[in-house]
Amino acid sequence: MSSGSTAEDVFAEGGEMGALMRSFDWAKTELGPVESWPLSLRTMVGVVLSNRFPMAIRWGERLLQFYNDAYRPILGDKHPASLGAPASQAWPEIWNVLGPLHEKVLRHGTSEWAEHFFLPMHRKGFSEETYFTFSYSPIPEGSGRYGGVLVTAQETTSQVLGERRLHTLQQVSASSFQAKRVDDAALRAARALGDNPNDLPFVLLYLCEADGKQLSLAAATGLPAGHVPPPGRLGLELFKEGGPLAGRLLSREPLAIEALSHHLGMVLQPVAPRAATQAVVLPLEGGAEGGSPGFLIAGLSIRLAYDAQYRGFMGLVAGHISTAIANARAYEEEKRRAETLAELDRSKTVFFSNVSHEFRTPLTLMLGPVEDVLASDRLEREEREALERVHRNGLRLFKLVNTLLDFSRLEAGRMQASYQPTDLAALTVGLASAFDSAVAKAGLRLGVDCPPLPAPVWVDPEMWEKVVLNLVSNALKFTFEGEIGVALRWRVDHVELSVRDTGTGIPPEELPRVFERFHRVHGAKGRSHEGSGIGLSLVQELVKLHGGTVRAESTLGQGSTFTVSLPAGSAHLPRERLAASRAAAPASVRVAPFLNEASGWLGSTRPEPETAPVPPPEVPLPRSQAPQGHILLADDNADMRDYVRRLLESRFTVEAVAEGRAALAAAEARVPDLVLSDVMMPGLDGFGLLREFRANPRTAAVPFILLSARAGEEATVGGLQAGADDYLVKPFSARELLARVEGALRLARERAERERLARERADFEQHLIGIVSHDLRNPLAAITMSAATLLRRTDLEERQRRPIGRIFASAERANRMIRDLLDFTQARLGGGLPLHPQALDFHALSQQVVDELQVAHPERVIELERGGAGQAFWDGDRTAQVLTNLISNALHYSPHGTPVRVRAYEEGAEGVLEVHNEGAPIPAELVPRLFQPMQRGDKDRNTVGRSVGLGLYIVDHIVKAHGGRVEVKSVAGEGTRFTVRLPLTVAARGAGGPP
């Protein structure tokens, strides 16, 4: 740049600042005219103006300022006064920092640099917290001197604030993450917020109380020592709609500290470095039923504008606190639920224990005398069978009680094992071999492979017996062909028992749950559905007491293997529970209930006798001369089947089966008169059997009674809602069962008789109407044709034509009445009206119907308006019948001298037929019944000269058969309009389809 450069040359670049500098009178400054400036100054000014990075020059002794467009936002409201002004005047609030830096650069000729440097600028009307990264570089003047400073600066306030706020949010999350209580989460969050006084001078956190009406102070931070404490409780009405703070919640706008103090009923006086003049009130999220769980009251920094960035940060703070509170509350609720469940579990265990103990006394008093009586040889066969049934089921109940008692003692930690060295092979062989006869009776093979072990195994013999008995019994229950294998092996440091079967197997998804208490494998096929569901769970718990493990392996349809592993030796067992060998109760005492239960399962494999010659003594009812019905009985319990069959066989033929599929097969061979089914059965249960019966037309009407051990109103309602005719809860008396069965059969017979009479009546009505219609149609046809022939003559006088016309109209009306009666009969008794659609021109059809009715009613005016192509695929005769009925109806119910207007047109994919008359409106209460048979559109009871009231009923059926709809609008002063809408194409339909 030449020494004679003008202002135009120096300030040629620079956009708005270049233009401003060109217009500036530099001659009035100490720099003088631009032409007199040092070359270095003019050059650097040009460089600065052409640069897009924020840059400034401070020149001369007073450091007069030049800056470019990019630097201008840094000045805020100090622009444009800062142009050409001394820097110390432009930045008086920070010159104590900037001044020494400029002096150092000019004195030593070295550059200065700073990153994210805090500068409390006053450029927006308040002392603002700002951060800059900048560098100061000397500008040579000549003769080895420096005339000014080149300033390169970038504001990093947003970056610094963003990082600081992000750190605060991270601290809130990290500190409150470990909180297990809501109050602790609030305190941790408040402490984390208190570490950032620059953004959050003070924080008050209020949470809703359980009553939902009050808020409690959960945490506070930022208030100086000695400050009046904030109120411990606030009314929720402050924040609700209409409350003084509700508007601030919606707008998220700040309010003055004085106003907030007034609402809180205290004086808020935050002091430096936490001084604040404004605060925001923000709702927390995640409360019950969409409400807020609390509110955050936070002071705002006096050094920051509440801009979008600040507002967003406050929203995130409230969100993080909400999450922390919600997580802590969820943990509290989960803990409460766990404690409730644990308490419920403990109560249930105590209950089982108490009930089991209480059951033992009456069971002992019941089983003992029964066994004494059974030992006698003076019993009749029927008496012995009844007592044996009582004994079997008493033992089964005794086994269940013992199992529940064992489990409750395990749960309560009161079952104490007494470990002793045991010949485990001999004990296991004895237990497994006890099932020989039961397994053989089931048609299976039992393999026991338990060679002598090299050393005794420390076990509690009674517990080991329960483990083996449960596993072998379980194998027998779910194995229908093949074999059951029991093997015992020594494996270096442990002994291993495996019980293998070739049964139904367990689905893979069910394997992880087989040892859960009360868990049943869904859909498993077994010999019985009965059982407590805790046998395998008890096995697992007993094995754990021995320091061992049990696992299950299974392939669906091929079988299962249960493996028990027990450590060798006694080092793993509690020393105080080790004992020398002691005498134990005979194993037969514990084996008998298992064998008795297995015998009950296998009872289903024995052939069922067809009849029982003697009825039960408890029901002294006389045998009927012949069975009163065929009853199908389905129950998987052999004793229950035998008992119910004996109760019913004196009066009915009873066919008994063991499960649902067998019942279906029996019903397929012979439909029973009544079904008695247990609810809980293996395979297809009672509800499934009921669904199958109701879905089959052959068996849908068969009376069905469900038998169940589940008592209570819900169980009964559930059974009846499923479609059962009755629901009988066990235990039931013989008389109750007989009364329910006879009642269901009686109702079924009455229902069948009513249906038979209804069919006969319908057949008779159809036959009668057909005969009457035929006999009436012949003379009416002769009358109609004769009258029509006479009316076509041209030599008749008017006095002759009028009576002939009345004869023709009356005959036509009679014909319509007969046709309507036939259609009504077919619609009600024959299942619907047949359709024979064909291509037709419904304009021409409408014209034909109007012409015929105009001839029959020469005194009336019938207008026809047509629109569109008029092509459709309908039943022409039925469509003509619809129009005839509607127009005749309109003629009948409208005064003489008023026209009947008919419109036939297309609208989209529909053909529309409208018939309008100007008669009196149809009463509103009659409109809903208008299309029912024998209904008329007025309240006049005088039926002289009227139709039979079937016209609109037939119209409705014909329209619905076409897949269309008919609408009616009747308004005083406007008359009545019937609108029929039919799809332009209709499929053919025979009689018997839907109406």
Q: What residue type is assigned to position 318 of the chain?
A: A
How far is the CA of 881 from the CAs of 636, 829, 884, 951, in angstroms?
Answer: 62, 20, 5, 9
Fold match flag (416-590 vs 830-983): yes
Cα–Cα distance measured from residue 979 to residue 987, given in angstroms and rounded to the nearest whole number: 21
**Is residue 465 within 8 Å of residue 427, measured between CB atoms?**
yes
Cα–Cα distance measured from residue 147 to residue 58, given in angstroms and rounded to the nearest whole number: 9
Helix (H/G/I), strand (E/B), else coil: 732:
coil
Cα–Cα distance measured from residue 337 to residue 670, given in angstroms and rounded to the nearest whole number: 54
pLDDT at 669: 92
Cα–Cα distance measured from residue 986 to residue 489, given in angstroms and rounded to the nearest whole number: 79
**Is residue 154 within 8 Å of residue 54, measured between CB atoms?**
yes
**Is residue 243 within 8 Å of residue 292, measured between CB atoms?**
no
- Name the β-bridge partners of 114: 134
**Is residue 24 within 8 Å of residue 10, measured between CB atoms?**
no
Instruction: Report the 10 Å Cβ neighbour count for 108.
Output: 11
Cα–Cα distance measured from residue 944 to residue 348, given in angstroms and rounded to the nearest whole number: 80
| Residue 273 preceded by cis peptide, ω within 30 | yes
In the block, tokens 């009258």 appear at: 787
Cα–Cα distance measured from residue 798 to residue 796, given in angstroms and rounded to the nearest whole number: 7
Break the chain into its structural domains and give their ranges: 7-155, 161-337, 416-590, 607-726, 733-820, 830-983
Superfamily of domain 607-726: Response regulator (3.40.50.2300)
pLDDT at 609: 38
pLDDT at 995: 42
Question: Is CATH 3.30.450.20 the classification given to domain 7-155?
Answer: yes
Residue 579: closest CA among 774, 417, 811: 417
Question: Please, is 854 exposed, middle or buried when counting C-beta atoms within 10 Å of its C-beta (0-12, 13-18, 19+)?
Answer: middle
Q: What residue type is assigned to position 992 of the chain?
A: G
Query: Domain 830-983 falls in which CATH fold?
Result: Heat Shock Protein 90 (3.30.565)
Mean pLDDT in runs of 10 for the chain (995 residues)? Answer: 64 86 90 89 91 94 94 93 93 94 92 94 90 95 87 95 94 88 92 92 90 87 83 82 71 80 77 78 75 85 91 92 90 88 74 64 71 78 79 73 70 78 92 88 91 93 91 89 93 93 88 80 65 77 92 91 94 85 53 74 48 38 59 87 86 90 92 91 86 91 84 62 82 81 88 81 67 65 74 74 73 67 61 79 91 85 91 89 90 91 93 93 85 62 46 86 92 92 76 42
Query: Domain 161-337 falls in which CATH fold?
Result: Beta-Lactamase (3.30.450)
Q: What DSSP designation does 355 have?
A: H
Give me the CATH code for the 416-590 domain, please. 3.30.565.10
